[in-house]
Chain A
Amino acid sequence: MLAVLIVLAMVLGGVVWSAIAGATVIWLSLTTIMATARPSLRLPTLSDVVWFFLRSALGRWILIAAWAETGWHLFCQHP
């Protein structure tokens, strides 16, 4: 009941963002569980994705640029 009320009170964008966040959390949990419980059916975890970029200088600089832009946008520009 409370969940229905919350959904009704939210704007359309909020509902979509909640759905995306929920799906991402489920996928994160699934990949983490599969990596430890069923190594034969291993799926790429978030750590694998990050390490894919950290393997070379170019990938690392892409992550550093994204990190810097995120910080400036969140803490110094109108959010």
Chain B
Amino acid sequence: MVQAALQFRISEYVSRYHPVLWLRHAVGIFESSGRTAQRGLKVCLALGLVVLGWWEGGYRWSASGAHWSVATIIAVTVLTAVVLARVRWRQGGETSTAWLAGAYRGVASWLRRPSWYGLGVIVWVLIAVVVAGWDLHSFLREVHQLPTLSYLIGRVTRFRVGRMGFFLAWLVAGWYVVAARPGSARPGTSHLGRDDAVDAHTAGDALHRRHRHADLHAGLKDSEHGEIPPC
């Protein structure tokens, strides 16, 4: 009688509190409320970034903690970029040679037929040259009257909130540069420095070549295993 009661209690316990059941229950909740979980994940990520920024903001430039944390972030970012570069290469996209050639063609085309858009590109180049040139000039003179850009930023990053703000902006910029996909550009925004017709032709051609290469590669792999690829 006692044994039967004990067995009943054990089976009841197992049916209620078994880890597998808990796991199933948790997965069920996760699946049923996918959007809520995604939102929660984003909130957690944002909170984590703020905490990381606050922690990093407490360091001075000379602290070893600042050195290894920034170095770790750079290393992780570069590793992620290497992995994603391999994935992007498989997906197809513009080769570096085609990119350089396209930029050259864009400049040559603009010299032949100056356009409003090309003028805008020149202004951007001018801004970059002025910033870099004045910064270099101030750096070489080394006088109090001519502060460099990093000196001015240093006046802000000496405070915890300032350093935190710059650090978070730097993290977000790094994430964007590494994770932004070529296909996610807005239409009409990817023709900087290139002739439109040439751009479309070259990009389409490159993609076609890459797909053809991928198909041939897949076919070769199949034939190695004794299978005939479909024609």
Contact = CB atoms under 8 A, between A and B. Distances in A.
Q: Do A and B bind each other?
A: yes
B54 interface: no
B186 A76 contact: no
B81 interface: yes
A63 B177 contact: yes
A24 B61 contact: no
A67 B193 contact: no
Contacts of B85: 57, 60
B127 A79 contact: no
Chain A interface mostly helix, strand, loop or mixed? helix
Interface of A: 11-14, 16-17, 20, 23-24, 27, 31, 39, 41-45, 47-52, 54-61, 63-64, 67-68, 70-79
Indicate the size class of the contact surface on chain B: 35 or more
B192 A51 contact: yes
Contact of A71 (B70, B81, B131, B144): B70
Chain B interface mostly helix, strand, loop or mixed? helix
Contacts of A70: 170
A56 B96 contact: yes
Given A49-B124, A67-B77, A76-B67, 6 more contacts: A20-B130, A39-B188, A43-B123, A78-B154, A79-B61, A79-B151
Contact of A64 (B77, B130, B134): B77
6 contacts: A47-B186, A58-B99, A71-B70, A77-B61, A78-B61, A79-B150
Interface in B138-158: 138, 144-147, 149-155, 157-158
Contacts, number: 150
A72 B95 CA distance: 29
Contacts of A56: 93-96, 98-99
Given A13-B146, A17-B149, A75-B163, A55 B77 contact: no
B170 A44 contact: no
B86 to A, nearest CB: 10
Nearest to B178: A64
Given A47-B189, A48-B189, A58-B100, A72 B61 contact: no
Nearest to A68: B74
- Pick the most buried of A56, A58, A75: most chain B CB atoms within 10 A of its CB: A75
Contacts of B100: 58
A74 B158 CA distance: 11
A20 to B, nearest CB: 6
A75 B146 contact: no
B17 interface: no
Contacts of A75: 56, 59, 61, 66, 70, 157, 163, 166-167, 170
B74 A17 contact: no
Interface string B163-194: 10011001001100110101001101110110
Interface in B11-31: none
Interface stretch (B113-121, B208-216, B218-226): B113-121
